[in-house]
């Protein structure tokens, strides 16, 4: 169903045309009807409107039609006509009748639409605004393979969950949101099927979609693409120039011959105008012919063309127009043959013909020509000598007058038939007056006949001598399975024995039969014709002692079979070959086996050359014999070194004997060999290799040889171990993270119970609160460390660099770690140079580095131990070392202590807490400061030392270090404060804290509520969480700022998101400042106490 604006407009247009026609008919009937039945003609346009456009245009026609008729045909004219009761009655009757027409018409229209949709071959579905399926046709049931009852009333995304998040969902939602039709192809990954989908939005935000399965079309398109590639491959093998040009004479396709002709790559031809490629001179000749082809004419011509890049060449060109669906020419197919050689040959032929006359006169064979009256027109010297007349006596005279004995003989009949039929002929005949045999070749023309005759008397005498030998030979041929053939060089015909026909599956004659050279050529494989004649020529010229050749002849069943042909020649007294006789034997099975073996060997050699594995062969006893290029190239062993069992010397000493033992067992038991061992590469390093070998058996089932392969799996095994180590560290980290988060949660939970039970015990409450703050700080440090490592790893971490005295950084770190050091009773000794040591650093992060090292020393040292922090300045760098006398580090762990999630000792009795990321964070931060960090230890129980090396600056102004969080500088005033957080506990607890500080506080648990409370409460300070429902913190802040009462409020983002991008978004939304949860009470008090904090 089409609901586009154009279709709606057309339906309304049809309705109004029908209404106009009805009004015209009523006006024409006016004289006959008068004022009776003024509305009678309106029912027809109402029916037309409901049929073409539905009830909307029909109802419009009901109203407009009545108004028009009331003004035109109902008295009093120009009014609605409701002043008289009969008109009111008529209106009611009209409306009832029109309503019936509209109702029935709409029902019929919907039933017709439903019937048409049901008859569609395409699937059809309709959805309501909540994507529930409200209609499914039969084709949709078949395509989706789901029953209609299982689909109706259910959400499309529930029924087809695999479509969620796919381009199909994006297209559906865009069509509904933008009110546009969509058409696209969709691939359903679970079923592997392709669908063509068309979707259209409907009124009331409904949505209709039609779809069909086009998987077969897609497969056809893929096949077409492959066919096009094959076509390109075929055209590239054709020596002729093949191209396709569009109607604007731009090349769109060309084959490889085009590139070679013009010396340009395909990309330099495709898309360019033919004139640009051919050159101006060539285009002047070719252009008009191209224009004729583009006019719909097939053009074929020969011409000498001066090409810009191809030189002056003779071509035979054909241009075939290509027609589009409408019959217009959309391009031309170009086929060009280079006939320069042929033209040169024709010119040479003309020159040769001029020389031929001279040659013909001097050749030793008889040659004459006759006109249509049988008069001699040319006689060479040899013919005059044979005829016993001078040339002058013969020229112009009729042959039958000069030689009446020849009238009616074979020569006479053959010449007359050739002239009458205009067909060349060849024949032999004996002319008794001369007592000679002649082999005649007759070539008729419209003007006469040419005859070339050779005196074959000597050959005939030899044939007579050969006849007796042939009879004896035929008797011998019956005793062999080979076929016997006899070849006549003069006629180029063969005489075949019955066995020859039998070998080809042909009907077997009772006597030898003559076969023509044309028949034999048709039976022979095209690739074998030239080699056969080359073998004959080599034999006839004496270059080889025997005639032997292989050929494929077509069997009667259509297949080609291999045959071996051998023969001997019979020569006349002049040494010319006058006959050849030989044998034809079936060699198919041997030849096929030989070709298969050669092909298999070639594939094997190709595979060996292409693989990076080491292929080798051993004899049946398991010894390496022969050249093993792969093994020698990999190990560097020479031929003599790896022979026999010498290959074992290239194995690792620990692997050599186990390999030999396993190999001997496999050879002895004739089973597949699989092993892994280390092989010394030619560079001296050992590589881990996987070995596989199988025995090859001969026809008797005995082992002929062993074939094996070595595959280098060193990197594969190392990667596998690295993956195992990474997986183990991940599991250990997750277990440690769970443990470390539970540790502070337990005392916090206990503290909550104590606060509830001992609320009146001030000392207990204070002690418990101090403990809970400590544990909470521990949890915050864990989370902060994880976030820092994540930001550094993803490249989102930025340092705030400034020039600072390193002593200030060290002092900050010591103050941070002092509580832990004092709690364990350690003796901390700090040594700092008296002169300032200036570095470019982020004070907070660099202090975090030294604090982490001090905390590690405090945690892993026995109570009361000494910890040394020493700063030593050099010219270019400064060295800060933290040394303790604690647990120490095993030697094998020194290279791993800075890796993620690594802890030296995980035993329960030695566990000191932490996630194993502290030292990773130290190394990353130090490297970001351009420095390095190293760990030293003499072993377990020998203490450890961490050395940080940082670059120093020669001179600079000292920067002011940031203030350290402390107590508020003063008591804040009393403010109205709004706390908005979707975590009601967080909002309530923070509100209670602010209430205790003397402020008036309101809370909200979503963004919309926050805006509403702000409008009513008019707070001075607003603390907004970012991730709230209904309206997030960014949008809530923007709405507040849009109001006059929101311009002066101090709005604070209080969120768990604390990266630079989050702070930038807060600033863009209109926040005054950005605080990261959990917000420390001291920070909050200082913020409220600041007189600047409440002004924009």
Asked whether residue 360 is domain-assigned, the answer is no
**Confidence tier at 143 by pLDDT (50, 70, 90):** confident
Distance from C-alpha of 301 to C-alpha of 287, rounded to nearest angstrom:
13
pLDDT digits (tens, 9 = 90+) for 630-645: 899 899 999 999 999 9
Phi, psi of 555, deg, nearest 5: -70, 165
Q: Which of 669, 687, 712 is the last residue of a domain?
A: 712
Averaged pLDDT, 324-340 = 89
Q: Is the predicted pLDDT of residue 910 greater than 50, yes or no?
A: no
Q: Which of 74, 90, 116 is the last residue of a domain?
A: 116
- Provide the strand spans (E) within 736-876: 802-805, 827-831, 838-841, 866-873
pLDDT digits (tens, 9 = 90+) for 776-794: 766 776 676 666 666 666 5
Q: Is the predicted pLDDT of residue 957 greater than 60, yes or no?
A: no
**pTM over cut 0.75:** no
DSSP secondary structure code for residue 587 in this structure = -
Q: Is the predicted pLDDT of residue 1019 greater than 90, yes or no?
A: yes
CB 175 within 8 A of CB 207: yes
| 14-28, 337-351, 921-935: which is most confident | 921-935
What are the DSSP calls for 377-399, one per residue? EEE-HHHHHHHTS-HHHHBTSBH
Percent over 70 (pLDDT), the chain: 84
Asked whether residue 349 is domain-assigned, the answer is no
Residue 183, strand partner residues: 198
Q: Which domain holds residue 738?
A: 726-797
Same-domain check for residues 864 and 956 = yes
Same-domain check for residues 929 and 875 = yes
Q: How many CA atoms lie within 13 A of 543 on its CB side?
A: 7
**Average pLDDT score, the chain:** 82
Cα 843-844-850 angle, rounded to 5 deg: 90
Q: Which candidate, 968, 923, 963, places its Cα nearest to that of 808?
A: 963
Torsion of CA 633, 635, 641, 643, to 10 degrees: -70
Percent over 90 (pLDDT), the chain: 26
pLDDT at residue 788, as a whole number = 64
Q: Is the predicted pLDDT of residue 1088 greater than 70, yes or no?
A: yes
| 142-156, 348-362, 751-765: which is most confident | 142-156
> Measured in Å, how far apart are the chain's first and last C-alpha atoms?
58
Averaged pLDDT, 706-718 = 90
Same-domain check for residues 63 and 82 = yes
In this structure, how many other beta carbons lie within 10 angstroms of the beta carbon of residue 355?
9
Number of domains in the chain: 9
**Beta strands at 123-127 and 133-136: parallel, antiparallel or unpaired:** antiparallel
pLDDT digits (tens, 9 = 90+) for 808-855: 899 988 888 888 888 889 999 999 998 889 999 988 788 888 988 998
Domain containing 634 — which CATH number?
Answer: 3.30.450.20
Asked whether residue 205 is domain-assigned, the answer is yes
pLDDT digits (tens, 9 = 90+) for 533-554: 999 888 888 888 889 999 999 9
H helix intervals, 398-525: 399-402, 410-421, 457-477, 498-503, 517-523
Distance from C-alpha of 821 to C-alpha of 829, rounded to nearest angstrom:
11
pLDDT at residue 913, as a whole number = 46
Cα 10-16-20 angle, rounded to 5 deg: 145
Asked whether residue 489 is domain-assigned, the answer is yes
Averaged pLDDT, 677-687 = 93
Q: Which of 797, 817, 850 is the last residue of a domain?
A: 797
CA distances from 301 to 36, 99, 448, 594, 811 (A): 84, 77, 32, 49, 98
Same-domain check for residues 95 and 197 = no
DSSP secondary structure code for residue 837 in this structure = -
**Confidence tier at 241 by pLDDT (50, 70, 90):** confident
What are the DSSP calls for 530-555, one per residue? HHHHHHHHHHHTTSSSSEEEEEEEE-
Higher pLDDT, 498 or 675: 675
Same-domain check for residues 308 and 279 = yes
Q: Is the predicted pLDDT of residue 27 greater than 80, yes or no?
A: no
Q: Is the predicted pLDDT of residue 1061 greater than 70, yes or no?
A: yes
Same-domain check for residues 775 and 900 = no
DSSP secondary structure code for residue 909 in this structure = T
Burial 978-990 (b: 16+ CB within 10 A, else e): bbbbbeeebbeeb
Distance from C-alpha of 379 to C-alpha of 287, rounded to nearest angstrom:
51
Same-domain check for residues 826 and 921 = yes
Distance from C-alpha of 380 to C-alpha of 364, rounded to nearest angstrom:
9
- In the structure, how many helices (H) and strands (E) does the chain have? 35, 37
CB 293 within 8 A of CB 320: yes
pLDDT at residue 688, as a whole number = 94
pLDDT digits (tens, 9 = 90+) for 889-908: 888 877 777 776 555 554 33
pLDDT at residue 212, as a whole number = 87
Asked whether residue 357 is domain-assigned, the answer is no
Domain containing 1011 — which CATH number?
Answer: 3.40.50.2300
Asked whether residue 1001 is domain-assigned, the answer is yes
Q: How many CA atoms lie within 13 A of 864 on its CB side?
A: 0
Same-domain check for residues 812 and 957 = yes
Q: Is the predicted pLDDT of residue 1013 greater than 60, yes or no?
A: yes
Q: Which candidate, 491, 543, 549, 481, places its Cα nearest to that of 517?
A: 491
Asked whether residue 461 is domain-assigned, the answer is no
Cα 113-114-118 angle, rounded to 5 deg: 120
**Confidence tier at 80 by pLDDT (50, 70, 90):** low
CA distances from 306 to 156, 278, 309 (A): 69, 9, 9
Averaged pLDDT, 218-230 = 77
pLDDT digits (tens, 9 = 90+) for 409-447: 888 999 999 999 999 999 988 888 888 888 899 999 999
Distance from C-alpha of 878 to C-alpha of 933, rounded to nearest angstrom:
12
In this structure, how many other beta carbons lie within 10 angstroms of the beta carbon of residue 1091?
9
Residue 21 in 3-state DSSP? Answer: helix
Residue 440, strand partner residues: 427, 453
pLDDT at residue 816, as a whole number = 80
| 539-543, 646-650, 790-794, 983-987: which is most confident | 646-650
CB 716 within 8 A of CB 690: no
With residues binned 3-state (H G I as helix, E B as strand, rest as coil), the percentages for the chain, rounded to 5, are 50, 25, 30
Q: Is the predicted pLDDT of residue 657 greater than 90, yes or no?
A: yes
- β-sheet with 560-571: strand ranges across: 513-515, 493-496, 483-488, 577-586, 560-571, 547-554
Phi, psi of 189, deg, nearest 5: -60, -45
Q: Is the predicted pLDDT of residue 964 greater than 80, yes or no?
A: no
Same-domain check for residues 338 and 276 = yes
What is the greatest pairwise CA distance in the chain?
161
Same-domain check for residues 817 and 953 = yes
**Confidence tier at 1094 by pLDDT (50, 70, 90):** very low
DSSP secondary structure code for residue 964 in this structure = P
Cα 362-368-370 angle, rounded to 5 deg: 150
pLDDT at residue 105, as a whole number = 72
Residue 300, strand partner residues: 318
Q: Is the predicted pLDDT of residue 741 greater than 70, yes or no?
A: no
- Provide the strand spans (E) within 609-757: 614-619, 673-680, 686-697, 703-712
Averaged pLDDT, 248-268 = 84
Those residues whose C-beta lies under 8 Å from the C-beta of residue 282, and which sit 6 or more positions away, are 305, 306, 307, 308
pLDDT at residue 916, as a whole number = 56
Asked whether residue 599 is domain-assigned, the answer is no
DSSP secondary structure code for residue 891 in this structure = G
**Beta strands at 1050-1055 and 1073-1076: parallel, antiparallel or unpaired:** parallel
Same-domain check for residues 834 and 937 = yes
Domain containing 787 — which CATH number?
Answer: 1.10.287.130
Averaged pLDDT, 591-609 = 70
Averaged pLDDT, 473-499 = 79
Same-domain check for residues 947 and 805 = yes
User: Mean pLDDT lowest for which of 52-61, 553-562, 800-809, 870-879?
Assistant: 52-61
**Beta strands at 366-371 and 376-379: parallel, antiparallel or unpaired:** antiparallel
């Amino acid at each position: 169903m089409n609901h586009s604006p154009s279709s709606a407009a057309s339906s309304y247009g049809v309705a109004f045309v029908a209404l106009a026609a009805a009004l015209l008919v009523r006006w024409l009937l006016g004289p006959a009807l008068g004022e009776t039945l003024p509305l009678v003609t309106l029912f027809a346009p109402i029916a037309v409107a409901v049929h073409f456009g539905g009830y909307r245009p029909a109802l419009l026609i009901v109203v407009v039609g009545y108004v028009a008729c009331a003004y035109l045909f109902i008295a009093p004219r120009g009014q609605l006509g409701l002043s008289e009761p009969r008109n009111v009655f008529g209106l009611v009757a009209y409306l009832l009748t029109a309503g019936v027409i509209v109702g029935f018409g709409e029902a019929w229209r919907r039933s017709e639409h439903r019937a048409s949709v049901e008859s569609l071959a395409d699937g059809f579905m309709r959805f309501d605004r909540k994507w529930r399926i409200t209609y499914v046709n039969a084709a949709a049931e078949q395509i989706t393979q789901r029953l209609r009852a299982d689909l109706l009333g259910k959400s499309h995304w529930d029924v087809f969950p695999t479509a969620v998040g796919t381009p199909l969902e994006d297209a559906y939602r865009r069509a509904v949101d933008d009110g546009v039709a969509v058409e696209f192809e969709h691939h359903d990954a679970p079923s592997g099927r392709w669908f063509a989908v068309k979707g259209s939005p409907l009124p009331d935000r409904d949505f209709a979609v039609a779809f069909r399965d086009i998987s077969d079309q897609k497969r056809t398109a893929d096949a077409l693409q492959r066919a096009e590639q094959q076509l390109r491959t075929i055209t590239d093998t054709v020596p002729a120039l093949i191209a396709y040009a569009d109607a604007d004479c731009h090349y769109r396709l060309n084959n490889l011959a085009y590139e070679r002709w013009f010396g340009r790559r395909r990309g330099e031809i495709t898309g360019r105008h033919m004139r640009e490629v051919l050159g101006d001179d060539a285009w002047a000749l070719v252009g008009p012919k191209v224009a004729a082809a583009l006019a719909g004419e097939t053009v074929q011509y020969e011409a000498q063309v001066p090409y810009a890049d191809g030189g002056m060449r003779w071509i035979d060109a054909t241009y075939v127009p290509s027609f589009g669906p409408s019959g217009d020419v959309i391009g031309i197919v170009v086929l060009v043959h280079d006939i320069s050689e042929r033209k040169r040959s024709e010119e040479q032929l003309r020159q040769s013909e001029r020389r031929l006359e001279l040659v013909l006169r001097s050749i030793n064979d008889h040659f004459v020509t006759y006109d249509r009256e049988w008069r001699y027109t040319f006689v060479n010297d040899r013919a005059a000598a044979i005829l016993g007349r001078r040339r002058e006596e013969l020229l112009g005279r009729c042959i039958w007058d000069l030689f009446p004995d020849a009238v009616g003989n074979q020569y006479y009949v053959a010449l007359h038939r050739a002239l009458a039929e205009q067909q060349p002929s060849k024949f032999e005949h004996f002319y008794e007056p001369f007592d000679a045999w002649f082999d005649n070749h007759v070539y008729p023309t419209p003007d006469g006949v040419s005859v070339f005759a050779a005196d074959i008397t000597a050959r005939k005498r030899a044939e007579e001598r050969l006849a007796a030998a042939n009879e004896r030979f035929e008797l011998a041929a019956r005793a062999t399975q080979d076929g016997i053939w006899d070849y006549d060089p003069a006629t180029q015909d063969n005489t075949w024995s019955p066995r020859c026909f039998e070998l080809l599956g042909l009907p077997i004659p009772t006597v030898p039969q003559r076969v023509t050279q044309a028949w034999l050529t048709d039976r022979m494989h095209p690739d074998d014709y030239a080699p056969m004649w080359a073998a004959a020529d080599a034999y006839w010229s004496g270059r080889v002692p025997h005639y032997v050749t292989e050929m494929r002849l077509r069997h009667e069943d259509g297949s080609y079979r291999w045959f071996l042909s051998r023969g001997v020649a019979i020569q006349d007294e002049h040494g010319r070959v006058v006959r050849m006789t030989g044998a034809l034997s079936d060699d198919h099975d041997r030849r096929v086996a030989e070709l298969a073996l050669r092909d298999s060997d070639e594939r094997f050699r190709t595979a060996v050359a292409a693989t990076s594995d080491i292929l080798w062969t051993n004899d049946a006893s398991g010894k390496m014999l022969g050249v093993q290029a792969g093994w020698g190239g990999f190990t560097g062993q020479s031929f003599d070194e790896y022979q026999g069992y010498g290959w074992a010397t290239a194995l690792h000493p620990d692997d050599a004997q186990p390999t030999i033992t396993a190999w001997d067992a496999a050879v002895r038991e004739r089973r597949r060999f699989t092993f892994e061992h280390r092989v010394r590469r030619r560079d001296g390093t050992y590589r881990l290799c996987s070995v596989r070998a199988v025995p090859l058996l001969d026809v008797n089932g005995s082992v002929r040889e062993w074939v094996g392969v070595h595959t280098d799996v060193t990197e594969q095994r190392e990667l596998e171990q690295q993956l195992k180590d990474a997986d183990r560290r991940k599991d250990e980290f997750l277990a440690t993270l769970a443990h470390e988060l539970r540790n502070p949660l337990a005392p916090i939970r206990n503290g909550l119970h104590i606060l509830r039970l001992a609320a009146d015990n001030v000392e207990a409450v204070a002690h418990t609160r101090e403990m809970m703050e400590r544990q909470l700080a521990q949890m915050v440090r864990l989370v902060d460390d994880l976030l820092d490592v994540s930001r550094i790893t993803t490249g989102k971490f930025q340092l705030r660099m400034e020039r600072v005295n390193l002593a200030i950084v060290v002092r900050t770190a010591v103050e941070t770690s002092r509580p832990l050091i004092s709690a364990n009773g350690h003796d901390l000794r700090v040594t700092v140079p008296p002169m300032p040591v200036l570095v470019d650093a982020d004070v907070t992060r660099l202090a975090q580095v030294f604090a982490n090292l001090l905390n590690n020393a405090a945690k892993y040292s026995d109570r009361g131990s000494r910890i040394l922090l020493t700063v030593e300045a050099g010219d270019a760098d400064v060295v800060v070392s933290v040394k303790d006398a604690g647990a120490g580090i095993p030697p094998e762990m020194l290279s791993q202590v800075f890796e993620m999630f690594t802890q030296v000792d995980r035993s329960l009795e030695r566990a000191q807490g932490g996630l194993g990321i502290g030292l990773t964070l130290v190394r990353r931060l130090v490297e970001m400061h351009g420095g390095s960090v190293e760990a030293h230890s003499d072993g377990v129980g020998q203490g450890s030392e961490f050395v940080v090396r940082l670059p120093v600056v020669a001179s600079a102004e000292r920067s002011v270090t940031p203030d350290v969080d402390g107590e508020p500088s003063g008591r804040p005033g009393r403010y109205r404060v709004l706390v908005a957080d979707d975590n009601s506990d967080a909002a309530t607890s923070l509100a209670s804290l602010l209430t205790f500080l003397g402020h008036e506080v309101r809370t909200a648990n979503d963004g919309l509520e926050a805006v509403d409370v702000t409008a009513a409460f008019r707070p001075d300070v607003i603390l907004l969480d970012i991730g709230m429902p209904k309206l997030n913190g960014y949008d809530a802040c923007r709405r507040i700022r849009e109001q006059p009462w929101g311009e002066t409020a101090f709005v604070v983002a209080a969120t768990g998101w604390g990266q630079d991008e989050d702070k930038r978004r807060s600033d863009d939304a209109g926040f005054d400042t950005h605080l990261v949860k959990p917000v420390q009470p001291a920070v909050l008090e200082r913020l409220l106490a600041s007189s600047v904090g409440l002004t924009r």
